[in-house]
Structure 1
Amino acid sequence: MRWKGLIAGLVMVGGMVPVMGAQESASGPMLLVLAKHDEMLSLVDPGTLKVVAKVPTGGNPHEVIASADGRTAWVTNYGNGSLHSIRVIDLMGRRVEKVIELGPIWGPHGLAFADGKVWFTAEREKLIGRIDPATEGVDWLMGTGQTGTHMLWVAKDASEIVTVNVGSGTMNLFTRNPVGTLQKAGGPPSKAGATTMHGDDPAPVPDWEQRIVKVGGLPEGFDVIPDAEGHAQTVWVANAKEGTVSVIDFATGQVTATIEAGVPTANRLKFTPDHRMALISREKSGELTFVDVASRKVLKRVMIGTGAAGVLVAPDGKRAYVSCSPDNDVVVVDLASMQVVGKIEAGMEPDGLAWAGR
């Protein structure tokens, strides 16, 4: 297969890059903050809002994700499509453990951790990839066929994937087909969703059903409301061009509503853990908008800076963290009062955020 040779050719570059700052062992959960200009990952104590360590990330880092146990992080080196590597960071030792060179896969951006694997988008190549942490190499790729595949969501069991495609103004809804009758590679094509074996490898490789949903202009920030088992039910995506939010029913692949949220230049959209409220950041205005999910009405608008990007809600739902890239800080928002209660100085041009540990 075309991808098989490509994946086999991806190079892993080893080496330990020393941490800058404190070297004490990790204790408790950490907030991870990427600073694009500084090319650094800051480890922040969420209790004190202080940076306890910094790790260099390489060129133009945009997104970061942590493993379920909080011991490892992965950072995409994006470069607006001009770079092609992912950093593996040891959060316990606070150092770069590996650099995964993606070769011809340019523009890695969005990240997710699900089913024990790391999933990423490659914007320039219009595809989704997967990294096996055990080998620290890419073991799977799938094309989206859409322009600007930017952010993604993956179900806990990796049976569903959602991506937003900024340039095409679309969402991809992927559902993994159940394992069917095995066919040897080189046999009849799997036009009806059959499962294929690679040569003598007994592991079946199921294919995927893809649905493309047209939304508004320049969609970027989105989030998913799952069911009790972690499967997608509803998708909300913010359309930066019109300032609206498209609501998508995952089961039917249809836009069921368009919310006039008044969020032009929207950058990120995130639900609270109870899915009762959505937070939307605006890149050009620095406004954070709170939307009630049940009524789909705007609850409040808060000016938090001159430009807002990454949004992360703490697992306990009490606080949100918003990167204000032009202001070089991360704003801390109390979700009960919907007010700013603190700021974190974590480097110049903060953007991607993640939570490490429980």
Structure 2
Amino acid sequence: MRTIYFLILLFCTSSMVSQNGTLIVLNKSDDTADLIDLKTKQSVATIPTGNGPHEVAVSFDGTLAVVTNYGRGEGWPGSSLTIIDIANKKAIKTVQLDYKAPHGLEFITEDQLLVTCEASKKLIQVNIETGLVEKAIDTDQETSHMVVYAPISNKAFVANIRSGSVSVIDLNTDQLEKIINTGEGAEGVALTADGTSVWITNRAEDTVNVLDVKTLETLEEFTSEKFPIRVKTTSDGKYGLISNAQSGDVKVFDAKSKKLIKTISMNVTALEKEASRLFQDFDDSPVPVGILIHPNNTFAFVANTNADIITIIDLETLEISGRLTAGKEPDGLGFSPLILN
């Protein structure tokens, strides 16, 4: 009886924990960020950002969210970052940049983060406390879109869509170390749980490359159809999730064997055709792009940019367990453990 009680308590505790925290959703067409309480599944605040917010990174302590204002329409390229105080549900600072079209970003310390600047072909390091750009390093490639940081080698890996490559930046020397041609449309990039390799999705070739973060050698290549645009790995080393914009699904791979475990259709269709939305030629695909995996590895959230819906995937059953709504054209996702009132 005591064992049964313990298992029930453990299950309930796990379920309660999995529902806690705040999901940050960027709405590209609304120029806003929604803060969604994961327990109630409701937005508790909608915060204005700059023009065309695309990606978001959350500080290590979960108190701040930094948004890249990429720009859109006549406002492209953008040149700023919006800093959001999550607990107080408001933007507290705008960092103006001399570099254009900021997009992918990742914290490397509590105050410092790396930011790709597409139109300037740069990777910059920004101190959000001082608002200063501390480093600006050439990628020497076109459309430097997303970035991931590998602590064990102190290198940054920048995916360059138009060049079909990855720029490897050595942060010890602040130099471009190597350009690796991975495949047409290199865009998504993620670090594995053990920190030893990165996955790169090549959206125009339907392939994924795995690179060693120290030797920079290509370890493996496998297929993910159609139009693999983002990738995330679970922190327990179990899964790699890839969103495929054209086929409207998320493919779940075994992180070690790289074998496809399951294809999860988003089961929603695109809304009305609008010139402002990307990938109009993908028919009725909801265009899943941004992925966020909850730190406890029980759920994943997927932004369906052309359906204005965030899909929740249960990572234990690999089934869709719910949906969230925010604003128009949701894309970048972030997580904070803070519980907002």
Into which bin does the TM-score normalised by the smaller protein fall? 0.7 to 0.9
1:55 and 2:55 aligned: no
Shift of 1:332: 0.5
**Larger Rg belongs to:** 1
Work out the CA distance in 1 between the residues paired with 2:247 and 2:297.
25
1:326 match: 306
Task: Tell me what 2:220 maps to.
Answer: 257
Contact 1:223 1:271 in 2 (8 A): yes
What RMSD, in angstroms, separates the aligned Cα atoms of the two structures?
1.8
Cα distance in 2, alignment partners of residues 125 and 295 from structure 1: 38
Deviations 1:107-166 (A, max 9, x none): 000010112212211011111111212212222211111111111112458922111111
**For residue 90 of structure 1, what is the aligned residue in structure 2?**
85
CA shift in 2, pair 1:269/1:207, >3 Å: closer
Give the 5 Å matches for 1:75-114.
75-79=67-71, 81-103=76-98, 105-114=99-108
Q: TM-score, normalised by structure 1?
A: 0.79
Specify the alignment match of 2:186 in structure 1: 219
What one-letter code is carried by the residue in structure 1 that aligns with 2:259? K
Q: How many residues align?
A: 297
* Aligned-partner residue type, residue 217 of structure 1: E
Matched, 1:292 2:254: yes
- The secondary structure found in structure 1 opposite 2:306 is helix
Change (3 A) 1:138 1:207: closer
Provide, for residues 15-69 of structure 1, a one-character-per-residue CA deviation record: whole Å limited to 9, x for no partner.
xxxxxxxxxxxxx631100011111101111122111111011211000111111
3-state DSSP class of the match of 2:295?
coil
Q: Contact conserved, 1:328 with 1:346, CA < 8 A, in 2?
A: yes
Percentage identity across aligned positions?
31
Secondary structure of residue in 2 paired with 1:327: coil
Task: Could you tell me which runs of 5 or more consecutive residues in structure 1 were left unpaired when the two chains were aligned.
Answer: 1-27, 178-205
How big is each residue's C-alpha offset from its partner over 1:185-240, in whole Å with a ceiling of 9 and x where there is no partner?
xxxxxxxxxxxxxxxxxxxxx4446121111110111211254xxxx411111111
Q: Which residue of 2 aligns with 1:135?
A: 130
TM-score (norm 2): 0.83
Render the CA deviation track for 1:291-314: whole Å, top value 9, x for unaligned.
Answer: 112221111111103220100000
In structure 1, how many angstroms separate the alpha carbons of the residues matched to 2:331 and 2:303? 5
Superposed CA offset, 1:47-101 (max 9, x none):
2211111101121100011111121111111026511111111222222212111
Distance (whole Å) between structure 2 residues aligned to residue 44 and residue 51 of structure 1: 4
